Amino acid sequence: MKRTIIASGPVIIENGKLLVNKDNKDDFYKLPGGTVEEGIEDMEEACCREVKEEINAEIEIIRPLNPMIVYKNQQTNESMTIVLIHYLAKLKNKKDIKPIYPVKEIVWLDIKDIKKGKYNVGKNILFLISKGDIK
């Protein structure tokens, strides 16, 4: 049976820049976030927990954005169903964020530059741009 994963993460935008990170698992920038712990938390709780675990961020969720379903793991090419739930969020502790292993880098990418293809980013970032959630 094909694996199904539900993942949740925030979209944090300030001054036309998108907060992304990169870890040691792949070579593209992605939104912080990760797998919802089944039966333990809801998607908003997972979003807040994951961003705290990855970059020490405290966030305030503003609203849900377009969900995305992919059928292949972008890192491993394994066939699976991944449901990505994104939330527009506000960063509450900007001066305290830092990469927590396996995250190795946190950057603010200019959204105009992402749209021009200047950076290698996760497919969900391009999806959210195409839907108008990241502008």
CATH for 11: 3.90.79.10
Domain that holds residue 14: 4-130
Q: What is the total count of domains within the chain?
A: 1
Residue 56 belongs to some domain of the structure: yes
The model's pTM: 0.94
Residue 44 belongs to some domain of the structure: yes
Residue 18 belongs to some domain of the structure: yes
The type of residue at 109 is L
Q: For 34-92, what is each residue's pLDDT tens digit?
A: 999 999 999 999 999 999 999 999 999 999 999 999 998 877 888 999 999 999 999 99
Residue 135 belongs to some domain of the structure: no
Inter-residue contact 61 to 47 (CB < 8 Å): yes
Q: For 88-124, what is each residue's pLDDT tens digit?
A: 999 999 999 999 999 999 999 999 999 999 999 999 9
